Chains A and B, each alone.
Chain A
Amino acid sequence: MTALNALTVAAARDGLRAGEFTAAELTEACLTAIDAAGALNAVVHPTPDIARDHAAAADARLKDADAPALTGIPLGIKDLFCTRHVASQAGSRILEGFRPEYESTVTRQLWESGAVMLGKLNMDEFAMGSSNETSTYGPVTNPWRRGNDDTALTPGGSSGGSAAAVAADLCLAATGTDTGGSIRQPAAFVGITGLKPTYGRCSRWGIVAFASSLDQAGPMTKDVRDAAILLTAMAGHDPLDSTSADLAVPDFEAMLTGDIRGKVIGIPREYRMEGMPQEIEDLWTRGREMLADAGAEMRDITLPHTKYALPAYYVIAPAEASSNLARYDGVRYGHRARLGQGDGVTEMYEKTRAEGFGAEVKRRVMIGTYVLSAGFYDAYYNRARKVRTLIKRDFERVFDDGINAILTPATPSAAFELGRISDDPVEMYLNDVFTVTVNLAGLPGIAVPAGLDRQGLPLGLQLIGRPWEEGDLLNTAYALERAAGYVEKPAKWW
């Protein structure tokens, strides 16, 4: 029998209901796995006491047959989510010691659905990064290795802790957030499923903001069915978030039929990048064939403004971040620098922020401040906003032409070595090349593992869906998952 912590959410749910094991047993299996996985550095604030309380409550509910969808399912939570009375640092030193008095809407909904909280997961500082190396807790190590080569690889980022924890079976599933690819890229790097819902599908209330017009929470899971189950619990209108959509949340799991006959899948020619590894190219071709075999119609499409997406993203996201991160000033919470004789408020700001923020965050705050400043606003920020509109229109046009979903590679490469490009921000930013368009357009996107490369590392494909049609998107992803038959797991070395 599979170890309890290796179960999917769906399998664990069914096992709990059938009385095959208890939530307490399931939770202990995860806590044990977490204790043994220090080398991954994925879990940064474990909450075993809360986990055991939640599990006990879950078992009571299961006994009373009063058990909502996620009763007894142990989850890991990205450190970006504010969780009441539990450290919530967004991977940053500047939020050292911060324990919120409130619970984010998404995590509150998960607990209300009966889920068990295992702890907080590592991430790039303020979700700024693609390798989990900007975290104040230090990098996460990918549970995957290249065959017998023990070189430490990145799990991707910014939701690197979530990705590693799910892939290494430290939890059944995890929450992530995705501003430019932060769910989909790490999911692809560790061979799990990662869904970024339509902007506005999940409330942002209580999630530490990086770039408010792009941030979106989503599930990171062992398969597509689990993503559907988690999204149903995470999504929903929240009057506390003005950008959250007042739309009914369907039962996404019930929409997984695997039948995609007659669906039209677009293949955007602009995603065929110069210098793209042949293996990625081949995977994409295989994905195309698999969907065609499942009865979908493949159609070549063009999204002409794709090449401007990355520069536009790296103007808009830092601009919003520079403003969103202004509140970390040492006045009310988190880190405050020790002040010297004669230091005033300006020195308090300067020293606190110099000590509290890491290099990547500082870089983006400075870029953002620059592009919003008088004299440069029109040349950068306003132009980027126009590009964003054009990118959105590209997608609207192909959807109007009858495209149901778009198939692309999830990442331009497999997981790379920790430290290899951490000194080259531009190369690092290129990791987001296939994913940022989706955030700029506010669309749902999902990364699905589809195979291994020659070195034995997982590779993912991305499906992009129509706004608010996550159910349809998940079903297409489900068909792709079944066709790919991906079942690989990393060999345990930690």
Chain B
Amino acid sequence: MLDLAYDPPAPKVIQGALHDWELVIGMEVHAQVASKAKLFSGASTQFGAEPNSNVAFVDAGMPGMLPVINEGCVALAVKTGLGLKAQINLVSAFDRKNYFYPDLPQGYQISQLYHPIVGEGEVLVEMGGGLARRVRIERIHLEQDAGKSIHDMDPHMSFVDLNRTGVALMEIVSRPDLRGPDEAAAYVSKLRQILRYLGTCDGNMQNGNLRADVNVSVCRPGDYERYWETQDFAHLGTRCEIKNMNSLRFIQAAIDYEARRQIGILEDGGSVVQETRLYDPDRGETRSMRSKEEAHDYRYFPCPDLLPLEIEQAWVDDIAAAMPELPDAKKARFIAEFGLSDYDAGVLTADVENAAYFEAVAQGRDGKMAANWVINELFGRLKREDHTIAESPVSPAQLGGIVDLIQAGDISGKIAKDLFEIVYAEGGDPAEIVEARGMRQVTDTGAIEAAVDAVIAANPAQVEKARANPKLAGWFVGQVMKATGGKANPKAVNEIVTAKLGL
């Protein structure tokens, strides 16, 4: 396998006032299942609907209403588990997590504490330069999202929107295997990439469809290795959990701040208090939300409204058989099949839609040239205009058509860039545009020879100089290109000029 070639990156070391410290980070990523209906009701999950319009009776906690599991959500959780090379538990069960809050109408969240649907798996997080962190996944469980409390609409009242209540989440729990803020961000990014490849979560962090609780602790060099050998958490520091992060940038900043805060406490002779903290991006700091003493007693117990969830191996096998190609495999294939560099393959496979676009362009064409055009011209242009690949005005067929014209020698690279601009701005079939606008490059050697002869005849002094200094032949090429309106094949011009000047 390709990933065997990676070495683990060095952990981030923070120099304290007294000595060095290392970071230990574990994550709970909440990914909204890409289902049109909620986990236990038929209500829609559409984002941005009128407040309290996507609410079934059971979502609102009406008396006597009962949950019924949405099979589609289960299938997507299984698919996610398979994508993370994880164990699929054929029997899992739902538990109630009890607490009071107005945006939790039932007074409990249905989750899977004791028997999650997905067990241990792993994610390979590439850090560049041949380094990658192998992050162990402890479990993935299905649970209900809560609603939204709105406290800033009225000075005296709070409002509740239940549209999100009961939407299916996958909580993806990692082991404390991440060793720095950059690794943590790269891990979330890699998870997001895999989920989007699988189509099990849209990964939209801005809308909160992917968010992370980050557990941070610090330890002295050597402690983590002792933990690793024994799997005994006693070797690690006390952790704090930073809740509800939905930006990669903030995740890094919050971890960095939190680690330094803990180091400061420890070096002053204090001890870190296990607690839940919130990151304030305006102030760039974390602050305490509730301490362990104030922590809720969630009184988990098996949800008596739901029977244990039993799935069949054959059903799992069907899902496995329909799995899409995942990022690591696709990247390896792009390198092998299209001769791409590791970097280009990484760029093109970062997003599943980008990869699909590239592959449509590259199919039956020069892979490197296709990669070049997709990455440098198309991505560059889209980025300048803040467009996504889905919004690209140039289709893969159009871009492929441009590449075809270059490969056939019909247009030069320079003309091709002009052509790309035309297609981008106006649309149309590249070959037809080239014909209609006379952009085809001149490959007729007779015509080129005539043009070269004319330039040589008109500039005898330059001919002398060039014969003495062959580097000046380029001037003649330029004159010929100018005379032909850029349409002459540069390679042919070069050869003929060299021959005619007798160089």
Residues of chain A touching chain B, judged by Cβ–Cβ distance below 8 Å, are 81-82, 88, 90, 95, 98, 100-102, 104, 204-209, 211-213, 239-243, 319-320, 322-323, 325-327, 329, 331-333, 345, 349, 369, 372-374, 377, 381
Contacts and interface: CB of A to CB of B under 8 A. Distances in A.
A155 to B, nearest CB: 24
A344 to B, nearest CB: 9
Given A212-B304, A242-B68, A243-B307, A326 B98 contact: yes
A374 B113 CA distance: 14
A374 B67 contact: no
Interface string B30-72: 0000000000000000000000000001001111111111000
Interface in B295-313: 297, 299-301, 304-307
A326 B96 CA distance: 12
B305 to A, nearest CB: 5
Contacts of A206: 64-65
B158 interface: yes
8 contacts: A100-B63, A209-B63, A209-B64, A242-B68, A242-B305, A323-B98, A327-B61, A381-B301
A349 B107 CA distance: 11
A321 B301 CA distance: 12
Nearest to A325: B107
A458 B499 CA distance: 124
Contact of B301 (A88, A204, A332, A372): A372
B105 interface: yes
Contacts of A333: 62
Contacts of A98: 63
Nearest to B69: A242
B102 interface: yes
B69 A208 contact: no
B57 A101 contact: yes
Given A243-B307, A331-B102, A323 B64 contact: no
Nearest to B106: A327
Nearest to B96: A323
Contacts of B67: 242
A166 B64 CA distance: 25
Contacts of A209: 63-64, 305
A246 to B, nearest CB: 12
Given A212-B305, A326-B106, A372 B66 contact: no
Contact of B66 (A213, A240, A319): A240
B142 to A, nearest CB: 15
Sorted from nearest, which 7 A-B pairs have the closest CB atoms? A326-B107, A372-B299, A212-B304, A213-B304, A327-B61, A206-B64, A208-B63
Given A207-B64, A208-B64, 6 more contacts: A81-B64, A323-B107, A327-B107, A331-B102, A332-B61, A349-B100
B316 interface: no
A211 B301 CA distance: 13
B358 interface: no
A326 B108 contact: yes
A104 B108 CA distance: 22
A333 to B, nearest CB: 7
B160 interface: yes
A243 B306 CA distance: 6
A381 B96 CA distance: 14
Contacts of A104: 64
Contacts of A329: 100, 102, 107
B154 to A, nearest CB: 14
B63 A90 contact: yes
Q: Is the interface of A mostly helix, strand, loop or mixed?
A: loop
Main secondary structure of the interface of B (DSSP, over half): loop
B69 A211 contact: no
A374 B64 CA distance: 28
Given A242-B306, A377-B301, A323 B68 contact: no
Contacts of A239: 68
A100 B300 CA distance: 29
A333 B62 CA distance: 8
B304 A211 contact: yes
A104 B62 CA distance: 12
Given A323-B299, A326-B100, A372-B301, A204 B66 contact: yes
B57 A102 contact: yes
Contacts of A241: 66, 68
Interface string B87-114: 0000000001010111001111000000
B448 to A, nearest CB: 78
Nearest to A212: B304
A320 B68 contact: no
A243 B158 CA distance: 36
Contacts of A212: 304-305
Given A349-B100, A372-B299, A242 B66 contact: yes
A382 to B, nearest CB: 9
A456 to B, nearest CB: 39
Contacts of B64: 81-82, 100, 104, 204-209
A91 B62 CA distance: 16
**Which of A81, A241, A322, A327 gathers most chain B CB within 10 Å?**
A327
A240 B68 contact: yes
Of A88, A212, A323, A333, the most chain B CB neighbours within 10 A belong to A323
Contacts of B108: 323, 326
B63 A82 contact: yes
B235 to A, nearest CB: 25
Nearest to B107: A326
Contact of B105 (A207, A322, A332, A372): A332
B73 to A, nearest CB: 14
Nearest to A98: B63
A207 B64 CA distance: 5
A213 B302 CA distance: 10
Interface in B304-331: 304-307
B98 A319 contact: no
Interface in B444-500: none
A320 B304 contact: yes
A259 to B, nearest CB: 37
Contacts of B63: 82, 88, 90, 95, 98, 100, 208-209, 327
Nearest to A243: B307
Nearest to B305: A212
A206 B136 CA distance: 44
A21 B305 CA distance: 44
Given A82-B64, A98-B63, A332-B105, A373 B100 contact: no
A322 B99 CA distance: 11
Most interface-central of A102, A204, A242 (chain B CB within 10 A): A242
Contacts of A374: 297, 299
A212 B64 CA distance: 10
Contacts of A323: 96, 98, 107-108, 299, 301
Contacts of B306: 242-243
Nearest to B160: A331
A209 B68 CA distance: 16
A331 B60 CA distance: 10
Nearest to B149: A345
Nearest to A207: B64
B260 to A, nearest CB: 32
